[in-house]
């Protein structure tokens, strides 16, 4: 619990400076370390399946790329204007803030569902 709280505090500090317009950018090393730490906490708490729900945005982004490549290889047609899906929305002329807020809302709801399901298992 202490480790999870420390990670949450650090990520909230990062989020504060990473809101639009972003001032601080995370590299591969930082994101891989955070992902590994979250996976470690999930294994420790025996809730590995909840990672799919917690990381639903990453799952959606990955699935959009798989569908786009598969559709192009099999049918020669693209499903989206560009993959991953956030680029599709950019090409549909959605504002960056609109995409980010929508992704935040989806992530927030998915994390609430994960928290509720974790409590009742």
pLDDT in tens, 57-83: 999 999 999 999 999 999 999 999 999
pLDDT in tens, 77-86: 999 999 999 9
Give the DSSP H or E segment for 120.
Answer: none
């Amino acid at each position: 619990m202490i480790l999870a709280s420390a990670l949450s505090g650090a990520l909230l500090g990062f989020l504060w400076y990473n809101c639009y317009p972003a001032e601080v950018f995370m590299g591969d090393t930082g994101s891989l370390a955070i992902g590994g730490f979250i996976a470690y906490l999930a294994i420790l708490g025996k809730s590995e399946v909840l990672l799919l729900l917690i990381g639903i945005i990453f799952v959606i982004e990955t699935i959009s790329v798989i569908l786009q490549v598969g559709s192009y290889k099999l049918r020669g047609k693209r499903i989206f204007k560009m993959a991953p899906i956030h680029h599709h929305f950019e090409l549909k002329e959605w504002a960056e803030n609109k995409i980010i807020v929508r992704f935040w809302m989806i992530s927030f709801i998915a994390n609430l569902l994960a928290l509720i399901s974790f409590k009742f298992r």
